[in-house]
Amino acid sequence: MMRIALGVTGGVAAYKAAELVRRLQQEQIEIQVVMTRSAQEFVAPLTFAALTGQKVITQLFGAEAPANVESAIEHIAVAQRIDALVIAPATADIIAKLARGVADDFLTTLYLATTAPVVVAPAMNVNMWEHAATRENVQILRDRGVRVIAPEEGYLACGMTGAGRLAGLEAIIEAVLEALRIRRDLEKETVLVTAGPTCEDLDPVRFLTNRSSGRMGYAVAEAAARRGARVVLISGPVALEAPAGVERVDVRTTEQMHRAVLANLDRATVVVMAAAVADYRPARPYANKLKRGTERLNIEFEPTADILADVSRRKGDRVLVGFAAETAQLAAHARSKLKEKAADLIVANDVTAPGAGFDHDTNIVTIFGSDGREQSLPKLTKIQVAHRILDEVVELRRSTHRVGSSPEAR
């Protein structure tokens, strides 16, 4: 689930932030509200606590840390866990502080501490909005990459008429979704995603598997669902909850995953094979538990089904994305796999690199395209990587006019 911090500052429009919270929650976004002292003069923190189910942060120092923030200075902890910072309404005072780097409360300190995208929705008196100082401060923020949503014109609380009313909720929500890289560009697609490890039994007690947590595949499923796709997630055994709105099919062995993929392939327009599938299994699993002995044990293995290859043979006009988890010669292996499997994209990563591969919330990947393009990404969160992969998928669908084509057309 995507997380944002919503900064609420002192102004009559503060009451509209409550409705903004509700609307953002409908987009499956988790919200941590941060209120300035002035904002509390207009809306009580209890309102936002009731809406979000989280304690509202109202001061820089105090015992108001969220329950899951156990270490680090609180504003740093919040800064590291959010995907975007949204300030609505934003007064002239807070805009000036942000522009000049003043950090005298939790919200302004959070702004300086976070590297996440920032969205600011001003609301103030028309003369304050049109003042040269405010104009200069807004331009400074825009030059830094902050998304500033211009206020609307209309009758203001002060009795004047002009620009200064908080922008409409739809405009704010659209900007937030854009900042989170949440788009609705997959609404006509059905995305089949595989995720997690598979397990191959050696005996009734032991099995062979790998270290895959399933986080990358689940991130792809979550990102695709947020972008409007119908998503079928075929998952090996993982300790993860299925993303909201995603149809999950649980499997355990490579053969089970193979059958599930082929059973759901006809309805898919995009296939993302992110699972870490076992390449071999014991040829003759033992019927009873193997007992410890003093001699060496020789076990014969046989190859499992090549799911990616079988999907490739049935590819049609689907977009096919494979993954390559490597420990050496990443580019060479990825290009070879791209050609052998006739995939549109191969997402390759060196699982030995710090911050990449298994058991991490981040990943470092290179995306190899069948057209020869290669895109090396910096270390990103897995949900960010997922969106970058889906950006490539969308471009492929558009460039080949395959958007939303039905299975019958293949």
| Active site (catalytic) residues | 158
Query: What is the identity of the amino acid at 244?
Result: A
Using an 8 Å Cβ cutoff, are 233 and 221 in contact? yes
Query: What is the identity of the amino acid at 220?
Result: V
Cα dist. 281→199, 204, 236, 253, 278 in Å?
9, 14, 15, 9, 7
- Axis-axis angle for helices 45-52, 16-25 (nearest 10): 10
Q: Which two tokens stand for residue 20?
A: 């903004």
**86 vs 124: CA distance, rounded Å:** 17
Q: Which two tokens stand for residue 375?
A: 């895109």
Cα dist. 405→312, 317, 393, 398, 408 in Å?
17, 8, 14, 11, 8
Reference 87, options 95, 75, 79; nearest CA is 95
**319 vs 309: CA distance, rounded Å:** 14
Q: Residue 62 class from Cβ within 10 Å (0-12 exposed, 13-18 middle, 19+ buried)?
A: exposed
**35 vs 13: CA distance, rounded Å:** 13
Using an 8 Å Cβ cutoff, are 104 and 83 in contact? no
Length, in residues, of the chain: 410
Reference 362, options 375, 346, 378; nearest CA is 378
Q: Which two tokens stand for residue 319?
A: 């977009």
Cα-only R_g, the chain? 25
Reference 86, options 134, 2, 147; nearest CA is 147
